Amino acid sequence: MLLTPAFATDQQSFGWNYLESFPALGIPVCSLSFPDAGYTDLQVTAEYVVHAVRTMAAESGRTIVVMGHQHGPLNELWALKFWPDLAPLVSDFISLATPYNGTDSARNGCDRSGKCPPANWQIATGSNYLTALNSKPLPEGPDYTSIYTKFDELIYPQPRASTLSGATNIAVQDVCPLRPVEHFTILGDNVAYNIVLDALDHDGPAVRSRISDDLCFTTSMPDSGYDAGSALSGFDYFFDVPRQFRERSVTAEPELASYAQ
């Protein structure tokens, strides 16, 4: 399995949850950290995914599961759609709180300030990047599951933002209505975790009817160092962009690469 974060390092996003739980289940897992903590052009960070999937498949002789949080899966999906050799190497694609159709928080923030890091422009509602990404159908081969929360304070409006056409789309609240999970706590939530496991344990994507309602009486996933401080650390990266990345802000999203125009 390959894990990709967003606006954070792999350890900040996954070091206290899936990088602990998957090895405990016997699942070999690798993770990526992107240049500039993922604030740079997503077309560039997608190339790191391409290299990682090719390398993992070649060295293991097995297909790869790709999974990520927020715009991490956009990097994975861009790689799958624009590098045709990748789809046969991937068995499952699983995402958490991903803005496939953009988020109004980035659109409003970037339009209001007039300057944003490249990736913020690209995940904004109506961006050229997302238009190009969504203009191509999902490649055949992988099974696609999008997991999200209706109470996402950063990726919204839901369910529009996280609905991936051609995938199975499941909200945490489809299993447990009113479950108080937001954009960052979904990383340690036990219901989201079991939806992930359902996708891994069966052919095809996750299926809501297989997820037990008894999970509504649980909180965090097993084999994790879950705590609110870890889960909410991403606020620092989304709302208060670190100075070194803020200084690299631009007035418009990066131009589409020639292959994507």
State pLDDT tens for residues 104-139.
999 999 999 999 999 999 999 999 999 999 999 999
Closest CA to 162 of 209, 95, 78, 239: 95
| Mean pLDDT of the 171-175 span | 98
Residue at token pair 């002789």: 61
Closest CA to 167 of 46, 19, 66, 32: 66
Q: Using CA atoms, how far apart are residues 139 and 77, in angstroms rounded to an integer?
A: 9
- The single-letter code of the amino acid at 171 is A
- Whether the ω angle into residue 180 lies within 30 degrees of 0, i.e. cis, is no
**Under 8 Å CB-to-CB from 6, ≥6 apart: which residues?**
13, 38, 68, 69, 70, 71, 72, 119
**Under 8 Å CB-to-CB from 103, ≥6 apart: which residues?**
123, 124, 125, 154, 155, 156, 161
Would you identify the CATH topology of the domain 2-252?
Rossmann fold (3.40.50)
Strand order in the sheet with 2-4: 30-31, 2-4, 64-69, 90-96, 143-148, 168-171
| Mean pLDDT of the 67-77 span | 97
pLDDT, tens digit, 9 for 90 and up, residues 176-225: 999 999 999 999 999 999 999 999 999 999 999 999 999 999 999 997 77
Phi, psi of 56, deg, nearest 5: -65, -40
pLDDT of the residue at 247: 66
Q: How many CA atoms lie within 13 A of 184 on its CB side?
A: 19
Q: Where are the domains of the chain?
A: 2-252
Q: Look up residue 156 and give its two tokens.
A: 């919204």
Task: Enumerate the H helices of the chain as residue ranges.
Answer: 10-14, 18-24, 42-60, 72-82, 104-113, 118-122, 128-134, 172-175, 190-201, 228-231, 234-239, 243-246
pLDDT of the residue at 73: 98
Lowest model confidence (mean pLDDT) among 131-140, 149-158, 231-240, 245-254? 231-240
pTM of the model as a whole? 0.94
Count of helices and strands (H, E) across the chain: 12, 6
